[in-house]
Structure formats: C-alpha cells, structure tokens
C-alpha cells in the first residue's frame, strides 16, 4: 500500500506545483470562495492551502487519505460526467506518501486535525477549527531522493506554481485567491466573478484593460473570455489559457484555432493574450487520458475549434481589423 502510493505519487506529483494544483482543485471542488496559498522555498519547504469550503466530516478524514478514495464519483457512469476537478482519489494519498502532511478541517461542527508522514498517521485529534480545510505539506519528496533530483531551481519551481494558480484563478473568477511566499504576495484576485478583474489581478490592470470580451455559443458549447488586439502580443504561448469546465487544459487543435482566428494579423513568432472559459456537457470531455488530467480528449473537437476561430475573427472584424 505505502509503495503503491509512492508509485502513484510519481505520476501525479511531479513537482511542488503538482501539489499546489491538487490541493487548490480540492478546495474548488469543496465550493470554497476564498483560497489562500502560502509557500516557502518554492514549495519544497512548505505548501499550505487554506480554504473556506465544505470541510471533511470527522469520520471521513481517514478515508480521504486512502488511495482511490473519492467522495466525488459513486459509480462507473459518473466517470463520464465528471463535474468536479478531482475524481481519482489519488492526490491526498500520493502527497501523504512523499511528504509530511497536516490536515485541519471542519464542516462547521467540531474540527479534526491529522498529522501524516510518509503515509503513516502520527497523530489525530479534535480541535476547534473554523469551517473549511487547511492542508500543510512540508518536506516534499523527503523520502524520494530520486524525485527530488529532478526538481529544478527555486525560481523555476516558483514559476510553475504561479502559472498553475494563475490558470485556476482565471477559470474561477468567483473565487478570491491569494498566493504568498517568503517575499510577499505573488498573486491576489478579487473573487467578484468578473473575469476581467481577475485577469487584472494576474497580468496587471494595463493588460486587462486592453483585452476585448468575447462570447460565443452553439447548442454544445458556451465560450466566454477575453482576447487581445493583434498589437498586444507576447513572444510565447504562455499567455493563452484554455479552461474547459473550469479545468486548465492543453490542446493543440484549439490553440491552432485561436491563432487561426487572428489570421494574418499576428506576426510570426508572436502570440496573443487569450483567456477562454469553455462550458460544455462533461460527456463531451474525456479527462481520463492522463493522471494529471491536463490532457483531455474532446468529442466534437472540430466543431469547438470552428467556434473559437469564428468568435475571435468576428470580434477582431468588429474592431475594423
Ligand atoms: P479526489 O479529489 O480525486 O476525490 P483527493 O485525494 O484529491 O481525491 O481527495 C480525497 C477526498 O478528500 C476528496 O474526494 C474529498 O472528499 C476530500 N477532500 C480533499 N481535500 C478537501 C478539501 N479541501 N475540502 C473538502 N474535502 C476535501
Ligand atoms: Mg483531488
């Protein structure tokens, strides 16, 4: 059991940013409206994620750390209609097998605190905690030196963390996010539900103000977001964010559709700033392709690509471009 958790951890938890992603996704799934992330030494020393979500019932705390224990799907069919970001029940078990983890949680009644290290429960007691959950992960990869060797510089690992929090925040403008490290606040979003305001918290007000709102829909898809004018470009694709039902995904075809929407207006090697939130029936999205759920398989991908390209093209045409 301990070993298989460590093997699973190898697939799900590649680096500190993977832990941040899994913990933040859990907070989102628990209906949090405020998520505070604190990291020390790019997460290798400490990662703490505190939310004001549903919390975990006292009796369910043990189960939450068991592999394949998820409260989010109940039968095989649910697997095809995943609404939540998590569903594999692997993250907490994996993280607890390669780090020192403290969980404090409450559903509003009495709270529970658990301390787990290398998969073993060291202590569990009741304590007064406000509603919500705080997970503190210390000494990540302390018992997997091979994994630790692959971790890059603090700067690189921090960049990965900021990147994933950015995307999750853009996919959830109704949630107020903060990200702090030992140098101060790295990110703060308002959580008002206004995507442009969220983007301002991430890329700055001056960028956010220059973006154009886009909206498009077909019977299958709904698309909302912001796109930059062709003059506001960047040297990398990094500023393109695609979120499907609140999940940040990478998809080459859809990226191509975005670029195609700009036609010849983009210079070679330049990319726009684009944030697209796509809503669709979960039945159209297969998130079971990869353990990190970053890659997804879409039915009707070509239709969606067409919608994206047409929506951007129309928007730019309205600006007489
Ligand atoms: P999954 O998200 O795939 O269900 P995880 O290992 O990430 O699996 O989490 C296991 C379970 O622990 C979740 O199904 C959920 O019931 C509970 N849980 C984890 N984090 C939180 C949280 N922040 N708030 C409430 N419940 C949580
Ligand atoms: Mg999860």
Say how far apart CA 315 and CA 214 lie, in whole Å. Answer: 7
Residues 6+ apart with CB under 8 A from 85: 25, 26, 28, 29, 246, 247, 293
Q: What is the ipTM of this complex?
A: 0.99
Nearest to 226 by CA among 192, 197, 267: 197
Neighbours of 292 (CB within 10 A): 15
Angle (deg, nearest 10), helices 195-203 and 154-171:
170
- How long is the chain? 321
Domain assignment present for 271: yes
Phi, psi of 90 (to 5 degrees): -110, -25
What are the angstrom distances between the C-alpha of 6 and each of 84, 141, 145?
24, 10, 12
Q: What is the pLDDT of residue 278?
A: 96
Give the residue from 155, 188, 221 where a domain finishes.
Answer: 188
Domain assignment present for 149: yes
> CB within 5 A of ion ligand 2: which residues?
26, 86, 91
Domain assignment present for 301: yes
Question: Is residue 8 predicted with pLDDT exceeding 80?
Answer: no
Residues 6+ apart with CB under 8 A from 149: none
- Give the CATH number of the domain where residue 149 resides: 3.30.565.10
Say how far apart CA 215 and CA 265 lie, in whole Å. Answer: 20
Domain assignment present for 196: no
Domain assignment present for 200: no
Distance 301 CA to ligand 1 centre (A): 30
Q: What is the pLDDT of residue 110?
A: 86
Do 174 and 55 have their domain in common?
yes
Q: What is the pLDDT of residues 118-162, one digit of tens each?
A: 888 899 999 877 899 999 999 999 999 888 888 889 999 999 999
Domain assignment present for 42: yes
Phi, psi of 47 (to 5 degrees): -130, 120
Q: Which residues line ligand 1 (CB under 6 A)?
A: 22, 26-27, 30, 51, 53-56, 64, 69-72, 86-93, 133
Do 109 and 42 have their domain in common?
yes
Q: What is the pLDDT of residue 78?
A: 66
Q: What is the pLDDT of residues 59-102, one digit of tens each?
A: 899 888 887 767 767 676 666 666 777 767 889 999 999 999 99
Question: What domain count does the chain have?
Answer: 2
Do 26 and 56 have their domain in common?
yes
Do 19 and 60 have their domain in common?
yes
Predicted confidence band of residue 109 (pLDDT cuts 50, 70, 90)? confident
Do 150 and 239 have their domain in common?
no
Question: Is residue 291 predicted with pLDDT exceeding 70?
Answer: no
Mean pLDDT for the chain overall = 90
Do 77 and 163 have their domain in common?
yes
Please give the order of strands across the beta sheet that includes 176-181.
120-127, 111-117, 100-106, 132-138, 46-51, 34-40, 176-181, 184-188
Residues 6+ apart with CB under 8 A from 252: none
Q: Which of 12, 18, 29 to mutate to test the pocket of ligand 1 (most atoms within 8 A of CB)?
A: 29
Torsion angle defined by CA atoms of residues 229, 231, 234 and 238, in that order, rounded to the nearest 10 degrees: 10
- Average pLDDT estimate for 102-118: 93
Do 155 and 74 have their domain in common?
yes
Give the residue from 188, 218, 251 where a domain finishes.
Answer: 188
Element (H, E) at 137: strand 132-138
Do 237 and 141 have their domain in common?
no
- Give the CATH number of the domain where residue 250 resides: 3.30.230.10
Residue 246 · residue 85 · CB < 8 Å? yes
Domain assignment present for 21: yes
Do 91 and 177 have their domain in common?
yes
Q: What is the pLDDT of residues 237-271, one digit of tens each?
A: 899 999 999 889 989 999 999 999 999 888 888 99
Q: What is the pLDDT of residues 204-222, one digit of tens each?
A: 999 999 999 999 999 999 9
Neighbour-count burial of 300, counting CB atoms closer than 10 A to its CB (0-12 exposed, 13-18 middle, 19+ buried): middle
* DSSP code per residue over 82-134: --SS--SS-HHHHHHHSSEEEEEEESSSSEEEEEEETTEEEEEEEE---SEEE
Picking from 82-96, 101-115, 218-232, which range would have the lowest pLDDT averaged per residue?
82-96
Q: Which residue has the higher pLDDT, 72 or 282?
A: 282
Q: Could you tell me the residue range of the domain that residue 140 belongs to?
A: 2-188
Do 108 and 250 have their domain in common?
no
Predicted confidence band of residue 184 (pLDDT cuts 50, 70, 90)? very high
Do 179 and 244 have their domain in common?
no
Nearest to 307 by CA among 263, 254, 247, 245: 254
Point out the ligand nearest to the CA of residue 133: 1
Give the residue from 134, 158, 188 where a domain finishes.
Answer: 188
Do 241 and 132 have their domain in common?
no
Distance 86 CA to ligand 2 centre (A): 4
């Amino acid at each position: 059991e301990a070993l298989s958790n460590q093997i699973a951890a190898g697939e799900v938890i590649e680096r500190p940013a993977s832990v941040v992603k899994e913990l933040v996704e859990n907070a989102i799934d628990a209906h949090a409206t405020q998520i505070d992330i604190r990291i020390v030494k790019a997460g290798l020393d400490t990662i703490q994620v505190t939310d004001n979500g549903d919390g975990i019932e006292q009796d369910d705390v043990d189960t939450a750390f068991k592999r394949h224990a998820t409260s989010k799907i109940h039968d095989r069919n649910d697997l095809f209609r995943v609404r939540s970001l998590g569903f594999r029940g692997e993250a907490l078990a994996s993280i607890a097998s390669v780090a020192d983890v403290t969980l404090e949680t409450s559903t509003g009644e009495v709270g529970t605190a658990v301390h787990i290290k290398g998969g073993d429960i060291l202590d569990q007691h009741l304590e007064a905690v406000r509603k919500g959950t705080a997970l503190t992960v210390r000494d990540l990869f302390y018992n997997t030196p091979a994994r630790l060797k692959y971790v890059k510089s603090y700067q690189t690992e921090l960049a990965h963390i900021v990147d994933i929090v950015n995307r999750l925040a853009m996919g959830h403008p109704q949630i107020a996010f903060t990200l702090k490290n030992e140098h101060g606040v790295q990110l703060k979003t308002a959580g008002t539900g206004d995507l442009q305001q969220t983007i301002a918290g991430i890329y700055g007000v001056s960028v956010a103000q220059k973006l154009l709102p886009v909206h498009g829909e077909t019977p299958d898809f709904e698309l909302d977001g912001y796109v930059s004018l062709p003059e506001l470009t960047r040297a990398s694709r990094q500023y393109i964010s695609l979120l499907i039902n609140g999940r940040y995904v990478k998809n080459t075809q859809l990226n191509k559709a975005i670029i195609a929407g700009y036609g010849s207006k983009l210079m070679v090697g330049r990319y726009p700033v684009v944030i697209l939130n796509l809503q669709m029936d979960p039945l159209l999205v297969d998130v079971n392709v990869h353990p990190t759920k970053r890659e997804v398989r879409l039915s009707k991908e070509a239709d969606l690509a067409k919608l994206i390209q047409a929506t951007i093209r129309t928007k730019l045409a309205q600006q007489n471009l």
